[in-house]
Structures are given as C-alpha cells and as structure tokens.
Structure 1
Amino acid sequence: MGRIVVYGAGGRAGRRAVAEAWRRGHEVVAVVRDPAKHEGVAGEGIRLVAGDAADVEAVAATAAGCTAAIAAAAVYGEGTDPDAFFRASAKALVAGLGRAEVPRLVLVGLASLLPDATGRRMLDDPAFPAEFRPFCEAHAAGLDLLRTAPPELDWLYVSPAGDFDHDAGRTEAGYRVHPHGDAGERISYPDFAVALLDEAESPRHSRTHLAVTGAS
C-alpha cells in the first residue's frame, strides 16, 4: 500500500476520505489547519499534521513521500474569502505536489459546475440560489487554474452529480459515474469517499470533472 495525503481532513468529505484510505491499508497524512480541533482524526496509521492547502511550502512538505493526494479543503462563511482561497489552493497544490513529485491529485468539487442534460452549467440556471453563486464561482476559478497544470500532474475534479445524502452511510452498491449534473441525484459521503480512493489508487479518469452518484 502507499501513502496518501488528504487536505481538509477535518471536513465531512475529508474525514471519510481519511477513513477509506486507512480501511484500504494506506498510510495517511491528514492535513488540517488546526490539529487541536480535529484530534479524533488521528489514529494508528493516520498522521494528523498542521498545514494549509493554499501554501506551496506546506503542500510540498506534507506531501513528501506520498503516492497520491486528495484535496477536500475549503473555506466558507463570514470572514472568509473563497475566491482568494480556491485560486491560491489550486496554484499551491499544483506547485507543491510538483515539488514533492506526487503524480496524482483528486479534488472534491461542486455539482453546480457540471453541465446538466441540456449542456448548461447547473450554476447558470436562472433559478440557482443567488446566495451560493459567489462560492461556486470561486470554486470555478480554482478549477480553471487547475486546467492549466502541467501534464506531470494527473488531476481529477470529482463531485456528486447532484448533492450529498448527509445522513446516509456506506452502501454495498457503492457509486456509479453519472453522465451529467442532475439536482435530483444523491450519494452518501462514505460512498463518495470510495470513488475518491478508487481514482487515487487506480486512475480511470484524467484532467476532467467527474460526476458520481449512488449506485442503488
């Protein structure tokens, strides 16, 4: 097994990614801004460290010796600047992982940036809630920067096809790839983590936005 670094390891998607990587026998470097707030993430085979996905030096240091990286770090809410963060983190992840010679990056993304069945981004639907638009546009700016990454970094942006089922657990059916965004689709966080680890371990999709949903 390899060593996988997870940025944003204290969040809902990040914690599940850490747990799934550990379940598969990987060493895990779990990166959070403040380890004191996420002590429950640490455990045998899981090293909890302080770091910032928007800082090149921190990314390079925490990713050293890793075979793949998963990025689930985000900022949201009063007093934060999502646009600055997602632009900076995209640049830092590309540069830092390059220095650490980590070839694979899997990022947790937003369904709103997917095209729907008509080919229109879900974000561009006139009915899309205006209060969420700045955060989504910030994510889009980061994704645009990621698309300029050198070919040495094999990246993948993964999101639910619609949304998370926040209360559901891991299912035997797992997940399936969905051809487009669909606001009615749902996937559990544990099943989403399976998709992240599948792509981190054995890449099947490259340099694109992948939509996944529950398989049942």
Structure 2
Amino acid sequence: MAGIKTIALFGATGPTGRHIIEEALTRGYNLSVYTRDPKKLASFAGRVEIVVGDLQDRSAIAKCVQGAHAVISALGPNSLKVQDDKPVMHGLTNIIVAMKRAGVRRLVQISTAAYRDPKDSFAFTPHAFALLFKVIARKGYEDIKATGELIANSNLDWTLVFPTPN
C-alpha cells in the first residue's frame, strides 16, 4: 500500500467536499478529512480519517495535514453574510503554515467564479459574475480575493480551481 497517496481535505461537509470524498475514495486515495462536526461525515466513518477542529485549531490542522501528499481545500464563505473578517483566508493561512512544517507542497483550492486571477484573460461572463458577487456580498468577495492572493504568494505548488456559472 506504499503507493497509495493521502489527501488532506478541508471543507469536506459541503456539496463540493462530499463530491471530492466520493471521487477520491473511488480512485483509491486515503483521506484525512477536517471538520467541525464529525456527525456530518458519519456516512464516511471507517473509510476516511476524520480530524475534528475549527480553522483556528493549529494542532488539529497539523494532524490532518501530517503524512498527506497534497491538500485540497473546498473552503469558502458559507453565506452571503460573512461576519468575520476573512475567515477563509485566515484558516488557509493556518493550513499553509501546517503544510510547510509537514513538507507538503501541493495545494488545490476550489474557489469561486467570483474571484479572477489578474493573470487570467478577460471573459465577460465570469467578469460580470465576479462584479455581481462583489456588489452583493462584499465581505465574502474580499475573503475569496485575499485567499487567492495568499495562495498565489505562498511558494507552494498550487492550483486554484474556478467553477464557472452555467
């Protein structure tokens, strides 16, 4: 089993995270899954390692990342009314610190179409969506933008995945 890769997954209880768990298990990966509420992952008990904590719990984050070959984050603002100042960016900061300490270089962040990397070419639909999101949910947009910038400047081997609106 030495060839089996381990993925640390953050943001596992949302629809995207659950899809990632199913796909990773189908493909034979081991998963270390981070959650605040292990009851939400009860259907995966025994098939994934569940690590419980919040995004400020550095020791639990380190436990989740330890031994991983890559980290996937499906973290994002969980409502249009983000109360805290950049909770996803602050959580990703703790994850990146844990990754660097554990020697994990690969990070995949599932972002939103609301944030466009400044190096991306212009496309009207995603640009319009980003502008609309910025107007409707300014704090959420600022968190997503700060998260993208944090990752881009992290010196990790990273990928930002932007689902596009249909």
Same fold (TM over 0.5): yes
2:108–2:158 CA contact under 8 A, matched in 1: yes
Aligned to 1:84: 86
1:15–1:41 CA contact under 8 A, matched in 2: no
Mapped pair 1:117 → 2:120: no
1:5–1:66 CA contact under 8 A, matched in 2: yes
Query: Which of 100, 116, 132 is the equivalent residue of 2:137?
Result: 132
* C-alpha deviation, 1:134, in angstroms: 2.5
After the TM superposition, which parts of structure 1 deviate over 6 Å for at least 4 consecutive aligned residues? Answer: none
1:14–1:72 CA contact under 8 A, matched in 2: yes
Query: Which of 93, 96, 119 is the equivalent residue of 1:94?
Result: 96
Q: CA RMSD in A?
A: 2.5
With normalisation by structure 1, the TM-score equals: 0.64
User: Following the alignment from structure 2 to structure 1, what is the Cα–Cα distance between the partners of residues 58 and 129?
Assistant: 30
Aligned to 2:19: 16
Give 1 or 2: higher helix fraction. Answer: 2
1:63–1:100 CA contact under 8 A, matched in 2: yes
User: Following the alignment from structure 2 to structure 1, what is the Cα–Cα distance between the partners of residues 83 and 89?
Assistant: 10
C-alpha distance after superposition, 1:13-46 (max 9, x if no partner) = 11111111111111111111110233123343x1
1:75–1:81 CA contact under 8 A, matched in 2: no
User: Following the alignment from structure 2 to structure 1, what is the Cα–Cα distance between the partners of residues 81 and 139?
Assistant: 14
Question: May I ask how many residue pairs the two structures share in their alignment?
Answer: 158
Change (3 A) 1:43 1:52: same
Change (3 A) 1:21 1:53: farther
Query: Which of 20, 40, 63 is the equivalent residue of 1:37?
Result: 40
User: Following the alignment from structure 2 to structure 1, what is the Cα–Cα distance between the partners of residues 90 and 23?
Assistant: 27
Percent of aligned positions with the same letter in both sequences? 28
* C-alpha deviation, 1:78, in angstroms: 7.9
User: Following the alignment from structure 1 to structure 2, what is the Cα–Cα distance between the partners of residues 15 and 32?
Assistant: 12
* C-alpha deviation, 1:95, in angstroms: 0.5
1:53–1:59 CA contact under 8 A, matched in 2: yes
In structure 1, runs of 5+ residues without a counterpart are 164-184, 186-216
C-alpha distance after superposition, 1:156-184 (max 9, x if no partner) = 11111x23xxxxxxxxxxxxxxxxxxxxx
* C-alpha deviation, 1:89, in angstroms: 1.6
* C-alpha deviation, 1:70, in angstroms: 0.5
Change (3 A) 1:112 1:71: same
* C-alpha deviation, 1:139, in angstroms: 0.7
* C-alpha deviation, 1:82, in angstroms: 5.2
Partner SS, residue 85 of structure 2: helix
Specify the code of the residue in structure 1 equivalent to 2:107.
L
Give 1 or 2: higher strand fraction. Answer: 1
Change (3 A) 1:28 1:96: same
Q: Report 1 or 2 for greater relative contact order, CA contacts < 8 Å, sequence distance ≥ 6.
A: 2
Mapped pair 1:64 → 2:87: no
User: Following the alignment from structure 1 to structure 2, what is the Cα–Cα distance between the partners of residues 82 and 17?
Assistant: 27
* C-alpha deviation, 1:140, in angstroms: 0.5
